[in-house]
Chain A
Amino acid sequence: MFDSTHPVSSQSADCVPWIRNAVNNAAAKSRLLLWVDAVGGFFVCPGNEIHLGQAVPDSTIDLPLLADLSRHHATIRRDEEGYTIEPLRDVRLNHERITATSWINDGSLIELGPALRMRFTRPHPLSATARLDFVSHHRTQPSSSAVLLMADTCILGPSAQNHVVCREWPHDVVLHRQHGGLYCTSAAQLEVDGTRHRGRAPLNMHSHVAGEGFSFSLEEI
């Protein structure tokens, strides 16, 4: 299954601006921290093109990593066919050094620089959203439990197939992007920033969502 190191032609995936809400107009690369109570903190990167690099003061890189890396070390892109990684410096994919843009498959091990190792997964078969879990002790800045490369949907809940596995939750909650906004859908009643909703509720960049047996918050980075 690890035959993914063949190079592909560089795909021009334009960075699609997503959350164009009143809160942030220049949010083309807006990133979020998703704080899920009793589960973890998640670094959410919504773009189709994510630049990875070292976390330095005043860094504007999409995914700043506290590791011995170059300031712009690699770029992960998502298009209709899947995910690719373009190595700008020392990058290994499934233990093999890559020099050209390569496909990343579910379960691939990505190694950046001398020591940073992370696992790439696409846990849910019906969503293009992927997840990066640190295998080495490195962290993002600000720190998080894992990174979510969010496409249109992101599913939180008890199933092991979900992007964020919340074992104690009674049911799934889906975050999805639509018409440039971010929404939250659940089978049960939700309370978003103190207002009750059933079904679908719009979110902003610092919403607090609570329901029977669960709660989570968003924070803009």
Chain B
Amino acid sequence: MLSRTQATAQDIDVIDDAMESHPTHADDQPRVGPVRFTYPSGARPLDGYTIKRGIGRGGFGEVYFAVSDGGKEVALKLIRHNLEIELRGVTHCLNLKHANLIALYDVKEDEQGNSWVVMEYAVGDSLEEIIDRYPEGLPPEEAFEWMQGIAAGVSYLHDHGIVHRDLKPGNIFRDDGQIKLGDYGLSKFISCSRRSGQTESIGTVHYMAPEVANGRYGKEIDIYALGIILYEMLTGQVPFEGESVGEVLMKHLTAEPSLDKVPEPYRAVIARALAKDPQTRFATVSEMFNALPPTAATIGYRPPIKETRYAHQADEAPQAASTPPGGAGSGGKAAAGATAAAAAMGAAAAAQAGSSAFDDEPVWRTIRDGWRGARDSWDGLNTPTKIVVAIVGCSALAYNAELVLQLIVPLVVLYVLYRIVRNVVLQHETRKAAPYAARGPGAAPAHSPARDAGLDTTTYQPAQAAMAAAEQAAARAAAMVPKSSGDWREASRRHWKKRGRRRWRESAAEALVVKPARQRIADLAGSMIMAAVIGTVMSLVAVLLRGETSIEKEQYAWLTITSVVGAWAVLIPAKFWEGTRGDQTLRRVTMLVIGLGVGAAAYGASELLMVSYTDSAELQHFSKFNLAEKFYDAGGAPQLGAFLAYFGALFVAIRWWKQADPMRRTRLSVWGVGACVLAAWVVDFLWRFPQPWGVMVAAIISTSVQLVSPHASPEQSSGDLAGRE
């Protein structure tokens, strides 16, 4: 076996490595080291086995899934350079037999002198993957079931004089309902070396008992790791988290785990398993297991599952767990326990949600929340209702434009001023408050706090002295680590969720890019025909809504023609930009040219139809600009110049192609239509255009473009825009 000093020297080396190469990232989740495998599928580095794929990196190196010449599926672990100590460990464990251990079949040497451990291939998910599926913690009965299998396996190892030393969810599997421990017999060192990825090291230190820092490797470290795993199963998080290996180590040494999130019957068990002093922990695994409430298994409580993708798999979990041992012994007590557990978990979830809430400017937050509420209720409406509401709303706004603008403009100006002042004040304050943070990650400790804390002592120091030193170092470390989310796992989960939609968009866009041109043209033709129909109907509705006693046919015809041409002018370029993220400026310039074309068409139509503008007297009053005057005739009716200017500006002002984007949020967005109406108003300020016709055209174009453009949401999986396959 390994001498204490040897192991410690190695560990410290490893810890230093990890700390140097793992500066504190405030907002960046730790880069997951890209896994590169030496051998591709089909390779036969070891005679008799064909490699099929890489599985991952375990304690010492790459693990592969391989099939023997006879057809047996195995996992192959490559141990380079024939590390003698490791191999001795494996050989020692080679003939252990237990239902909860991954079987080791053999150790073989290849032609290059590398050793391969041939072992059982576990088909199912690892506990790590299961925990990822339950961000709020596993149901207690499932956690209990896992615990039972793990405890049995570890107990068997301890019974044979072997300490696992690397217990962690990534090493524990459920294969066909049977819980299996892997990676035993190999982990004589903490499994972070120069060769393995950084996540490996941070993952491992989460389960590392404090006395490991002093080179003690008794059974107690497995008990400690079991305590952490139980905590993680019940809450979805490890008790000690940090941005760096050093920070996590420091917490193992000094911080008390916060057990508030853990439901009561488990709290005492975890507290004792996580005791800093190895002597006060449970003496054996079975003692710890027996201290667990055996009754939780019978209650069908399940916390809500967050990730919908896994919902169906989670569905099956209670069925698999339907015959748990532990018996239906004490019913009433069990129910009480489980209810308490449920309540505690609910509270924990609520606390978390509260803490993650945004802390930004209050006025803006109120507006945003109101906006979101309105948006949600809007999404609940059906399309015909949406159209009616949109038309009524737009026309109401169009007739009261002056009043609304008079109200809104001063408010917006006032708010902008307030924001500027607030930002200046806040920036000043943060600069004063955070001199360390300002130095950034580059200022990572030159000498590691871990070393200061006494980690590099090879002898076991008196606990008190070590703790005092550690506390100091921890305080220093805390000052240097920017106070951000703190927990990269949690952060990455949130990040993951937030990125979900963006990711979906990206992949949806990729699928759209491969869409053949013929399909695009066919889609476009369909959309254009629909746009013509919708434009005609909506123009009629708009004219009717205007409430004029006699409908003027030429005005209706003009509105229809302009709206339909405008909608087509949006649909055509948008179809060819679909799925790509081109240069915005270029697109706007293109839209400008198209807008001028639409303006010309609108002018042509008005000349042809000899439209008379009833409101033109009013127009005369407004055209104050010298330049603009040339755009209007003596009667105030707009000439070609006004048409060109109005439509050109309208098409530049709005990113119209977004409204035809298949990946837009909702099929018909009232905000999209609103934005167009608003833009039409603003443009109207520059170049007067007979209203409400100008605003109506914008609203109709926007509505019809949105209605006829294909739409796919991540929630619905039926709209295959990439063309029928």
> Interface residues, chain A, CB within 8 Å of chain B?
33, 35-38, 40-41, 78, 80, 82, 106-107, 109, 117, 119, 121-129, 133, 135, 137, 139, 142-143, 151-153, 155, 157-162, 165, 168, 170-172, 174, 176, 185, 206, 208, 210, 212-217, 219
**Interface SS of chain B: helix, strand, loop or mixed?**
loop
B301-327 CB mask vs A (1 if < 8 Å, else 0) is 000000101001100100000000000
Indicate if B500 sits at the interface (CB-CB under 8 A).
yes
Complex interface: chain A residues within 8 A of B725 (CB)? 78, 127-129, 151-153
B177 near A36: Cβ-Cβ < 8 Å: no
Given contacts A159-B506, A161-B504, contact A126 B177 (CB under 8 A): no
Within 8 A of A (CB), among B705-719: 712-714, 716-719
A171: nearest chain-B partner, CB-CB: B506
CB contact between B36 and one of A35, A165, A185, A215 (< 8 Å): that residue: A215
B717 near A125: Cβ-Cβ < 8 Å: yes
| Smallest CB-CB A-B distances: 8 pairs | A213-B34, A217-B41, A151-B725, A159-B503, A35-B53, A126-B511, A37-B54, A128-B725
Complex interface: chain B residues within 8 A of A117 (CB)? 316
Nearest chain A CB to B140 CB, angstrom units: 23
B41 near A125: Cβ-Cβ < 8 Å: no
Given contacts A119-B313, A174-B511, A215-B40, contact A159 B504 (CB under 8 A): yes
A157: nearest chain-B partner, CB-CB: B507
A219 near B41: Cβ-Cβ < 8 Å: yes
Nearest chain A CB to B649 CB, angstrom units: 35
Complex interface: chain A residues within 8 A of B226 (CB)? none
A160 near B123: Cβ-Cβ < 8 Å: no
- With A121-B312, A123-B309, A160-B503 given, can you name 19 additional A-B contacts, CB distance below 8 Å? A80-B724, A106-B718, A107-B312, A119-B312, A119-B313, A125-B504, A125-B508, A125-B712, A125-B716, A126-B712, A126-B721, A127-B720, A137-B123, A152-B725, A157-B507, A158-B503, A161-B504, A172-B506, A174-B514
CA distance A109 to B123 in the complex (A): 21
B35 near A38: Cβ-Cβ < 8 Å: yes
Given contacts A35-B53, A41-B53, A125-B717, contact A153 B507 (CB under 8 A): no
Complex interface: chain A residues within 8 A of B504 (CB)? 125, 159, 161
A176: nearest chain-B partner, CB-CB: B514
Nearest chain B CB to A99 CB, angstrom units: 25
User: Which of A40, A137, A155, A165 is most buried by chain B, counting CB atoms within 10 A of its CB?
Assistant: A137
Complex interface: chain A residues within 8 A of B36 (CB)? 210, 215
B511 near A133: Cβ-Cβ < 8 Å: no
> Interface residues, chain B, CB within 8 Å of chain A?
32, 34-37, 40-42, 52-56, 65, 67, 73, 123, 176-177, 307, 309, 312-313, 316, 500, 503-504, 506-508, 510-512, 514, 712-714, 716-725
Complex interface: chain A residues within 8 A of B41 (CB)? 35, 208, 216-217, 219
A108: nearest chain-B partner, CB-CB: B312
CA distance A127 to B67 in the complex (A): 32
CA distance A124 to B721 in the complex (A): 11
Complex interface: chain B residues within 8 A of A219 (CB)? 41-42, 52
A137 near B177: Cβ-Cβ < 8 Å: yes
Complex interface: chain A residues within 8 A of B503 (CB)? 158-161
Complex interface: chain A residues within 8 A of B500 (CB)? 159-160
B497: nearest chain-A partner, CB-CB: A160
B712 near A38: Cβ-Cβ < 8 Å: no
Nearest chain B CB to A158 CB, angstrom units: 6
Nearest chain B CB to A128 CB, angstrom units: 4
B42 near A206: Cβ-Cβ < 8 Å: yes
Complex interface: chain A residues within 8 A of B55 (CB)? 38
CA distance A176 to B725 in the complex (A): 11
A124 near B53: Cβ-Cβ < 8 Å: no
User: Which of A109, A117, A125, A157 is most buried by chain B, counting CB atoms within 10 A of its CB?
Assistant: A125
Nearest chain B CB to A140 CB, angstrom units: 12
Complex interface: chain B residues within 8 A of A208 (CB)? 40-42
CB contact between B53 and one of A153, A165, A217 (< 8 Å): that residue: A217
A136: nearest chain-B partner, CB-CB: B316
A126 near B54: Cβ-Cβ < 8 Å: no
Given contacts A37-B35, A208-B40, contact A124 B54 (CB under 8 A): no
B507 near A162: Cβ-Cβ < 8 Å: yes
B514 near A125: Cβ-Cβ < 8 Å: no
A125 near B718: Cβ-Cβ < 8 Å: yes
A155 near B56: Cβ-Cβ < 8 Å: no
Complex interface: chain A residues within 8 A of B316 (CB)? 117, 135
CA distance A143 to B176 in the complex (A): 14
CB contact between B54 and one of A38, A109, A135, A170 (< 8 Å): that residue: A38
B507 near A217: Cβ-Cβ < 8 Å: no
Complex interface: chain B residues within 8 A of A210 (CB)? 36, 40
Given contacts A36-B53, A208-B40, contact A124 B511 (CB under 8 A): yes
Complex interface: chain B residues within 8 A of A162 (CB)? 507
CA distance A211 to B73 in the complex (A): 27
Nearest chain B CB to A152 CB, angstrom units: 4
CA distance A80 to B177 in the complex (A): 39
CA distance A170 to B506 in the complex (A): 12
Complex interface: chain A residues within 8 A of B54 (CB)? 37-38, 215
B507 near A155: Cβ-Cβ < 8 Å: yes
Complex interface: chain A residues within 8 A of B42 (CB)? 206, 208, 217, 219
CA distance A120 to B582 in the complex (A): 36
CA distance A219 to B40 in the complex (A): 11
User: Which of A139, A143, A206 is most buried by chain B, counting CB atoms within 10 A of its CB?
Assistant: A143
Complex interface: chain A residues within 8 A of B724 (CB)? 80, 128
CA distance A92 to B498 in the complex (A): 37
CA distance A212 to B31 in the complex (A): 13
Complex interface: chain A residues within 8 A of B511 (CB)? 124, 126-127, 153, 155, 174
Complex interface: chain B residues within 8 A of A137 (CB)? 123, 176-177
CA distance A157 to B65 in the complex (A): 21
A135 near B313: Cβ-Cβ < 8 Å: yes
B53 near A127: Cβ-Cβ < 8 Å: no
Complex interface: chain B residues within 8 A of A37 (CB)? 35, 37, 53-54
Nearest chain A CB to B77 CB, angstrom units: 14
B52: nearest chain-A partner, CB-CB: A35
Complex interface: chain A residues within 8 A of B510 (CB)? 155, 172, 174, 185
Nearest chain B CB to A169 CB, angstrom units: 9
Complex interface: chain A residues within 8 A of B123 (CB)? 137, 139, 143
CA distance A142 to B67 in the complex (A): 10
Nearest chain B CB to A159 CB, angstrom units: 4
A159 near B313: Cβ-Cβ < 8 Å: no
CA distance A153 to B507 in the complex (A): 11
User: Which of B73, B307, B313, B725 is most buried by chain A, counting CB atoms within 10 A of its CB?
Assistant: B725
CA distance A126 to B193 in the complex (A): 43
CB contact between A159 and one of B40, B507, B716, B717 (< 8 Å): that residue: B507
B65 near A133: Cβ-Cβ < 8 Å: no
CA distance A78 to B720 in the complex (A): 14
